[in-house]
Amino acid sequence: MIKIILRRSSPFLILAFFIAGAAILIGTKESPEQKENEIPVPIIDVLSVEQKTVSLNLPSYGVVTPKNKTQLVTEVQGRMQSIAPNFVAGGVVKKGDKLAVIEPSDYEADLMQAQASLAQAEAALEEEVARGEVAKNDWKGFDGGVPPKLGLRLPQLKKEQANVKFQQAALARAQRNLERTIIRAPFDGIIKARNVDLGQYVTLGTNLGELYDTRIAEIRLPLTNQDLAYLESVDKPDTQVTLSASLAGKTVTWIGQIVRSEGVIDAENRMVYLVAEIKDPYLRDGRKEGQMPLKYGSFVTAVIKGRTVEGIVKLPRHLVRNGSVAVVSKDNVIEIREVNVVRTDLDSVYIKDSLADGERISLTKLNHMSAGQVVKILGQADDTDTGVDNPQSSKEQRLANAGDQ
């Protein structure tokens, strides 16, 4: 009977034993050591501010085009007799060079006819002058008063004089037409295109080709209406411009001059265009070592020299957020300061009357940077050198003081 009772009560005895053991363990456990949350001090890099006198240059872009270009057209008609070897696309010509010749035989004949007609008219004029002298002598024997003009053959003389002038004009026209059978370059240039071939019959006004002047190149540079405020003069923007382009795998620059403003705002893009000029873009007057020609059709970037302003701080664009920068005080405390941005470009921001020489700007972007935040400067030996309390050191001092008590 006792065995039955013990067998049935043994589970309860084991459960009671474990409950008692758990109670003893709970009663004897120690409280965990309380530690303060450590707040790490962020380490940042800084940039020292330096005020400078800078030119507020204006970036732009454009395509190089000739200042002068012309369509070579015929002033006479006929068959193309010859074409010069350099009268091809890309051919370089000088003023007066012969480009093509139209069959001149008909115009040579016209010239000979005009010369013959002029000779006949001059002979008729001489004959009429002689007749007039004879008529004048005949009237001297009469005492009947003043001789009439017709009697002195004055109308006939004027007629022959007019005929001579007419034939002289016809001769000059025939000479010009003969000269026009030779197509010459009106200025130093480069052939853009040729539209005729040897043996082709051309009429008056036929377009033979296109010629670009190589003496001066032009580039239209768009600017916003606000950018005009940074020029020394809006009406006469006579200033320097630096052009650059990538040629043969390297960047080449040219120096030009802004010569005028087009004076209107483009209705499509709301931009104002300045016109820059480059003299001798193809270096035909001489080439220095390392110089490269500025070819028509090239796309170039431009930097237009703007007004010179003192006391400007130039910062990388990414350091200015919402018109503010993170200034690090002498105590290594962050100050979020609003700044006066006078101009921005693709890479930089220009600030005036907001930052003093020697002030430090944070170069490190923190996720939760706020005013009053304590930071450590990259490269500083010890925080105590800057007068900033290290939270970790302060915590260790408090624990030491508590142990002494």
Q: What is the pLDDT of residue 92?
A: 93
Higher pLDDT, 244 or 233: 244
What is the Cα–Cα distance from 314 to 354, expressed in whole angstroms?
12
171-185, 198-212, 312-326: range with lowest mean pLDDT:
312-326
Q: Which of 151, 150, 131, 149 is nearest to 141 (CA)?
A: 151
Q: What is the pLDDT of residue 224?
A: 87
Report the DSSP pairing between strands 46-48 and 308-316. unpaired
Q: How many residues does the chain have?
A: 405
Q: What is the pLDDT of residue 112?
A: 95
CB atoms within 10 A of CB 402: 8
Q: If you ran DSSP here, which 8-state letter would residue 124 be given?
A: H
**Residues 279, 254 contacting (CB under 8 angstroms):** no
Percent of the chain with pLDDT over 90: 39
Q: What burial letters (b/e) apply to 243-265, b meaning 16+ CB within 10 Å?
A: bebeeeeeebebebebbebeeee
Which pTM does this prediction carry?
0.66
Average pLDDT over residues 79-84: 94
Average pLDDT over residues 307-315: 87
Q: What is the pLDDT of residue 206?
A: 93
What is the Cα–Cα distance from 377 to 386, expressed in whole angstroms?
10
- Out of 1.10.3720.10, 1.10.530.10, 1.10.10.10, 2.40.50.100, the CATH code matching 72-211 is 2.40.50.100
Domain spans of the chain, in order of start: 72-211, 214-308, 309-377
What is the Cα–Cα distance from 218 to 14, expressed in whole angstroms?
104
Q: What is the pLDDT of residue 148?
A: 60
Q: What is the pLDDT of residue 170?
A: 94
Average pLDDT over residues 7-24: 73
One-character DSSP codes across 337-394:
EE--EEEE-SSEEEEESS--TT-EEE-S--TT--TT-B-EETT-S-GGGGT---HHHH
Q: What is the pLDDT of residue 266?
A: 85
Architecture of domain 214-308: Beta Barrel (2.40)
What is the Cα–Cα distance from 366 to 81, expressed in whole angstroms?
79
21-25, 124-128, 277-281, 299-303: range with lowest mean pLDDT:
21-25
**Residues 306, 241 contacting (CB under 8 angstroms):** no
Structure confidence at residue 177 as a pLDDT band (50, 70, 90): very high
**Residues 327, 315 contacting (CB under 8 angstroms):** no
**Residues 385, 356 contacting (CB under 8 angstroms):** no
Architecture of domain 309-377: Beta Barrel (2.40)
